[in-house]
Amino acid sequence: MRKQVSRSRKTFVCLRRWKAGIRSKIQRQPSERMLRRPGVAAATRSNRAEGFMTLRTDNMTGEFYRTIVEALPEAIIVATPEGRMVYVNAALVRLLGYGEEELLGQPISKLVPQQLGRRLEPMKWLTRWAGEDDAEQSRFLDLIGRAKDGREMAVGVRVREGSIGGDRRYFISVRDRTVARDDLVRAKETQLLTSRILAVAADAIVAVDHAQKISFLNLTAEKLFGYADDEVIGQPLEMLMPDRFRKRHHLEVSAFGNARQASRYMNERGRVVGRRKDGSEFPVEATITKVTMGGLPTFVAHIRDVTERTAREKALVESERRFHAIFDHAFEAIGLLDPAGVVLEINRAGRALTEDGRGLIGQPLWDLPWIGRTDALDEEGRTRLQDAVARAAAGEGQRFNVDIHQPSGTVQIDLSLTPVRDESGKVVYIIPEGRDVAKVD
């Protein structure tokens, strides 16, 4: 019986000391010091001031503050300098799943699992961080907490040192950072994936900031321009192009930054040329995209070296020029038909056999307006020519004589039809060649 009375008395004394500590802090509140000034004391006789004092007297008690802490959504722990928990609020109980009685008096290390390869000593950590006055040290630190069911979770922890009733205490707030950590992990994974995609992209990719200073380039861009990334990061984008284009390009990118469109094909405004580290120039095809980061525009250019394609295009143009030089200056009448016999091309000698040399493209070969009359071919000749075109379209070469009736007489033409196949063997063109038999040696 005496032991129970003694224990109750100790509990009563502890509560009195705790409340006394709360009262001592309340007495130091600026509002009370202000009310004790002579000029302000007189004003407290008003109904408004009396109401404030009554409210303060009724509410600012230990129980009032305890109720506030219990209602906080943030988990709170109060620990002794030895690291034993003397108070946990309801939010911590909900977060970790322990009952209050399971935690009081237990070391705080109960809530911090040991991690592989990392030894964490909670008391050293508390002592180090709680005494720091630097605001930087008041930030939430990322740790791993352990719930009652063994589940581990990411938590943000902040600690400050204070006192209750003259006794040193550590006040620890704990936040669940699981969602934030998962978001961070996903963001890092996305960033890693993006970096790898950019690294192996076939196109050179160069990013510049709002001042048109290079902020990123991938491996393809390094190989294309001959620079390592540390040679160009922070440098003007213009270093990657010839001097004669730099001013115009800078103005065009600035104008694009102020425009509404999000992307643009740069070649639509003219030829785009790149410049390598060794000074050599090369044609490029480029698309620029604009994104806003931190309120400022960032420009990303996708660049493709088109040196080989440009060379092929030039070679094709030259080939066509040579073809037409031969085609148009041949003595024989030569044309190009589709498989149905419709004229696609006809050379100068072929046009000379027609009435005016115009309006030939798109007509069937047997309907051409030959010189002298539109019905220069009789019905037998037309039918024979149609059958020959059909056989050539089937892949069988044809050669025969056809009579063309003109005012000066009948002209006999040695006509050949040669099928042209594509890679699959399909006939895609027919080449007709005609020679005046009388002029053939």
Q: What is the pLDDT of residue 16?
A: 52
Mean of the per-residue pLDDT values for the chain? 79
Three-point CA angle 233, 234, 238, nearest 5°: 90
Structural domains in the chain plus CATH codes: 1-67 (no CATH), 72-200 (3.30.450.20), 203-305 (3.30.450.20), 327-439 (3.30.450.20)
Alpha carbon distance 156, 174 (integer Å): 6
Q: What is the pLDDT of residue 426?
A: 94
Q: What are the pLDDT digits (tens) for 363-411?
A: 898 888 765 554 556 788 788 889 999 999 999 999 988 777 666 777 7
Please list, residue by residue across 168-206, b when 16 or more beta carbons sit within 10 angstroms of its beta carbon and e when fewer do: ebbbbbbbbbeeebeeeeeeeeeeeeeeeebeeeebbbb
Alpha carbon distance 157, 146 (integer Å): 13
Q: What are the pLDDT digits (tens) for 6-16?
A: 544 544 445 45
Strand 296-305 to strand 333-337: parallel, antiparallel, or no bridges (unpaired)? unpaired
Alpha carbon distance 417, 339 (integer Å): 11
pLDDT band with cut points at 50, 70 and 90 for residue 331: confident
